A = this chain, B = another copy of it.
Amino acid sequence: MDSQWTLSNPVFRTWALSSSILAVKLLLMALFTARHRIAKKVFANAEDARIANGKVKTDEDVERVRRAHLNDLENIPAYWIISLIFVLTEPAAFTAKVCFYGFTAARVLHTFFYLNSVMPFRGISFIIGQILNAFMAIRCVIFFI
């Protein structure tokens, strides 16, 4: 057996759980955007504004959620793949847990800090996520080169 992508591998199960949690988190961002759009009656499309009796306009609260969402899109799909490849490098269970749950926690906190305009904690949680992704990605490049 030369694959690590099996349910009998605890590191792989940790990957699956952290990735699923991040998927739920990412899906929630669309709801946050929708909630702000409906509350403020500001929309991106004329046909939406017409239905909701609102207008086509950019709004700082909506844009803030959208920036947090876009930041997730820049980081979470990269995490999903790089951590999956990282499983192949047979990391110690502890290392994998630190990377996987650490990244997940960093991204959840990043959004919390972003939506509440809390600096420098938003920056710190972003950097922790970046460092964990970079650590795994570089280890994968070295492993497979």
Q: What residues make up the interface of A, taking CB atoms closer than 8 Å to B?
A: 2-3, 5-8, 13, 16-17, 19-21, 23-24, 26-27, 29-30, 44-48, 50-51, 64, 67, 69, 73-75, 77-78, 80-82, 85, 88, 117-120, 122-123, 130, 133-134, 137-138, 140-141, 144-145
Pair B27/A130 contact, Cβ less than 8 Å: yes
- Specify which of B6, B21, B64, B80 is in contact with A45 (CB 8 Å cutoff): B64
Can you name the residue of chain B whose Cβ is closest to the Cβ of A134?
B27
Tally of this chain's copies: 3
Residue of A2, A13, A30, A78 with highest tally of chain B CB at under 10 A: A78
Pairs A–B under 8 Å by Cβ, sample size 8: A2-B7, A16-B144, A19-B82, A20-B82, A20-B144, A48-B123, A51-B119, A77-B77
